[in-house]
């Protein structure tokens, strides 16, 4: 079904959050920010909102923006742009984070279509005056797990652990978006990743 759908229940107040790891103690680099991670896709774009304070990242909301597979490309891109504009206007993030493009893709056509989706997300951020940050996939993996070659399953487990979720979001797009936000929350640091301070 086309449109925006929530995958992780929202918390509307910045003072009310879903539970996090009980022994988190590592300071975030980017404390006091609201970070919007986005995993672009022409069919499904995942997003995840994370707030940071002086000690840990906190999950606010995760969801997806879907497009109609039978619609023309321009209309699908418009739907992504409209959905992302709505998320940005509603939650007022301090930064939007996307994955960095790289040179070699196994499926070039898929990469081109994903690039279109990424472009309208960048446009939505720029139109709202929100800075854009990008990280490579290996940077995100290393930030969360300490291993730049970590598997998708390892990323899922770490996202669940950091946010105290009993199971990952139903859509991998949301998990990937949350991973991007977490990377920006504390790039290269892993105290909250492991649950150990220091």
Which residues does the annotation mark as catalytic? 39, 99, 173
How far, in Å, CA of 197 to CA of 129, rounded?
35
**Angle subtended at Cα 161 by Cα 29 and Cα 190, rounded to the nearest 5 degrees:** 30
180, 36 contact by CB (below 8 A): no
Q: What angle do CA 38, 94, 53 make, to 5 degrees?
A: 100
* Angle made by CA atoms 138, 101, 146, in degrees to the nearest 5: 10
Q: In sequence order, what are the residues at sequence separation of 6 or more whose Cβ sits closer than 8 angstroms to the Cβ of residue 89?
A: 128
């Amino acid at each position: 079904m086309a449109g925006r759908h929530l995958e992780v229940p929202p918390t509307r107040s910045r003072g009310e959050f879903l539970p996090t790891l009980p022994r988190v103690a590592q300071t975030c680099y980017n404390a006091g920010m609201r970070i919007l991670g986005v995993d672009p896709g022409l069919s499904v774009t995942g997003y995840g909102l994370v707030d940071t304070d002086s000690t840990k990242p906190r999950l606010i909301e995760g969801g997806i923006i879907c497009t109609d597979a039978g619609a023309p490309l321009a209309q699908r891109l418009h739907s992504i742009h409209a959905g992302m504009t709505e998320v940005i206007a509603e939650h007022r993030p301090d930064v939007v984070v996307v994955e960095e493009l790289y040179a070699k893709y196994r499926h070039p056509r898929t990469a081109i279509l994903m690039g279109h989706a990424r472009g309208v997300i960048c446009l939505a951020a720029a139109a709202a005056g929100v800075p854009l940050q990008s990280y490579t996939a290996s940077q995100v993996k290393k930030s969360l797990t300490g291993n730049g070659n970590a598997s998708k399953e390892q990323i899922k487990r770490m996202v669940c652990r950091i946010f105290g979720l009993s199971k990952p979001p139903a859509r991998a797009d949301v998990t990937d978006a949350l991973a991007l936000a977490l990377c920006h929350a504390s790039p290269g640091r892993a105290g909250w990743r492991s649950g150990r301070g220091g």
